[in-house]
Amino acid sequence: MNSFRKNFLPPISDLLAFEAAARQASISRAADELHLTQSAVSRQIRQLEQRLGMALFHRVRQRIVLTDAGRVYAADVRAVLQQLSASTQKAMAFSHAGGLLNLAVLPTLGTRWLVPRLPRFQARHPQATVNLAARSEPFDFAGTPFDAAIHFGAPTWAGAVCEFLMHEQAVAVASPALRDAHGIGQPQDLARVVLLQQSTRPAQWAEWFEQLGIETNAALRGPHFEHFAMIAQAAACGMGAALLPRFLIEQELASGALVELFADTLVSGDAYYLVYPEARAQTPLVTAFRDWLVLECAGAGELP
């Protein structure tokens, strides 16, 4: 038995007209957007209201205003239309022999490490399409279009397989100007400069000082940034010292915008993982991407 009843499904043209009018708060602007006449849009909205048995708009002079029921219905219809559009694009992408992979990735990792390496994967799988979207926190695969994600943390993700990729080796860095201005020559010197904090690694500086046997109250002080790219830019601009994964700041180190202050590193107990739903474990493109990514990470050199 179908999980939906067909008589509850209005024509998509009526839904498109209603959603456009609700978003534009105007029949005429909706008509322009849909390349229809105003009378055609008005007719489709009336048909929808008749099917529902209720008014979706208040007509106030030349304006339309959503009713309470219309406001709720508009939000739901918009979400359904967006999902239908995404699903259609995904289905069309499968017309390519190589298939489609929707990957959720940590923003800085995706921009600075993964994207420059993707041409190597494309060379092996020229018919495949890899879509990237930024996600910083775990999510439920069932409610998203994603086939896999790159995750940093513990190998725990409900209903998913976690494939180890690599550990993270962080180094203390700063701009040459800040290093020279504050005379930073020993690790304990960092206790008297601004420490740039990563929001998802709030105890990182404390762990670094503890590893070196340095007691300080400054480890948790300093401005917080959500993404490593933000911290790298802030450090390069001289805002403070940063503790960053070496493999994410290769460009700044090569250009001299940032310098490693000491040889001491901090290897996190957490790690990077490729995560994918158990139902995708045998999907050819997922397994091909997994095998390629594991090999790429093996050569990343993040562990000493």
The mean pLDDT of 283-299, rounded to a whole number, is: 92
Q: Do 139 and 83 share a structural domain?
A: no
Q: Residue 304: inside a domain, yes or no? A: no
Query: So what's the pLDDT on residue 34?
Result: 94
Q: Is residue 303 part of a domain?
A: no
- The answer to whether residues 53 and 108 belong to one domain is no
Assess whether 281 and 210 both reside in one domain: no
* Three-state secondary-structure class, residue 72: helix
Residue 301, pLDDT score: 47
pLDDT the model gives residue 138: 87
pLDDT band, very low/low/confident/very high, at 298 (cuts 50, 70, 90):
confident
Residues 265 and 278 in one domain: no
| 160 shares a domain with 172 | no
Residues 204 and 128 reside in one and the same domain: no
Q: Domain range spanning residue 275?
A: 100-164+271-298
**Each residue's pLDDT tens digit, 243-276:** 999 999 999 999 999 999 999 899 888 999 999 9
176 and 248 inside one domain: yes
Q: Is residue 243 part of a domain?
A: yes
Contact yes or no for 235/175 (Cβ under 8 A): yes
Number of domain units in the chain: 3
Mean pLDDT rounded to a whole number for the chain:
90
1 within some domain: no
CATH assignment of the domain containing 38: 1.10.10.10
Residues 24, 31: contact at Cβ < 8 Å?
no
CA distances from 96 to 12, 99, 127, 289 (A): 27, 6, 6, 17
Task: Quote the pLDDT of residue 300.
Answer: 59
Look at residue 302 in the predicted model and tell me its pLDDT: 47
pLDDT at 304: 34
More confident residue, 7 or 156: 156
C-alpha to C-alpha distance for 91 and 24, rounded to whole angstroms: 29
The verdict on 176 and 222 lying in the same domain is yes
**Do 184 and 262 have their domain in common?**
yes
Q: What is the pLDDT of residues 158-195, one digit of tens each?
A: 889 999 999 999 999 999 999 999 999 999 999 999 99
